[in-house]
Amino acid sequence: MDIGFIGLGVMGRPMAANLIAAGHRLTVYRDSAAAREALGDRARFAGSVAEAVRDSDAVVLMLPDTPDVEAVMRGEDGVLAALRPGTLVIDMSSISPSAERALAAEVAEAGGDHLDAPVSGGEVGARDGTLSIMVGGDRAAVERAAPLFEVLGGRVSHIGAAGAGQVAKVANQIVVGVTIEAVAEALRLAEAAGVDPGAVRDALLGGFASSRVLEVHGARMIEGEYEPGFRIALHRKDLGLAVEASARLDVPLPASGLVHQLMNAAVATGLGDHDHSALALLLNGRTG
């Protein structure tokens, strides 16, 4: 399949590399030293978004935030300006569900098909092709995207109509964020009580408190290794979407609001580019 791939950051680069390795032909945007190192001459580098889109059967977006996606989609030289009828647009970014629904309608008006397909699994999942993909959109479009999702993900869930994938991703980020804070507090309590936090983590992994967050991020906290698989600044953005939804839908989300405030504090103290497990550093009074 001819694919236009837009967004070659920490997640996008390994995802693009996996699609190329599976035999797909990629035109990518944008050029950078890191992208060249990851993809070499296996992809064609476009000089604009429109150039990446123009001759593609499918367009994949993997961008940081809602304004980035809106700019790439609606720009003078953007996706909608260059979209051919029948092209499949797959937004794998994590953005506002309401903004995604509006973009889906604009893609449909331009004659294309649209899916929102945000992911969970971090850089490791992107590299290993084991991402959890949460999809919103029409079933027929999901079936068209299946060959790409099979390369990128270990679990693909069709949640519902346009925007439903983004709602699922916000829910995912609530669970992950609140659990990170719970693990950080549990290990900090053990340390303050003079008990080996590593031994406590090992014990908890054998019981009902076991989770992927305790396994992976608990180890990061104990070892003090916070190279980003997923940055605090990006998780803060996702929890901001939860807080916005809480107000708009009049649904109380007190734990989400608290963790969002803690992530605001982490960013303010210089921890924004650390892995989200570095939220634990706030409990020790440490900053970036």
Q: Residue 208: exposed, middle, or buried by beta-carbon count in 10 A (0-12, 13-18, 19+)?
A: exposed
> CA triplet 242, 247, 253: central angle to 5 degrees?
55
Between CA 89 and CA 72 the distance in angstroms is: 12
In contact, 84 and 115? CB cutoff 8 Å = no
Phi-psi region of 82 (alpha: psi -120 to 50; beta: other; left: phi over 0): alpha
Write out the catalytic residue numbers.
169
Phi-psi region of 30 (alpha: psi -120 to 50; beta: other; left: phi over 0): beta
Between CA 175 and CA 104 the distance in angstroms is: 27
Provide φ and ψ at 58, rounded to 5°: -140, 150
What are the residues facing 153 on neighbouring strands? 131
Provide φ and ψ at 215, rounded to 5°: -65, -55
Spatial neighbors of 130 by CB under 8 A, at least 6 apart, are: 121, 124, 153, 154
Provide φ and ψ at 256, rounded to 5°: -60, -40
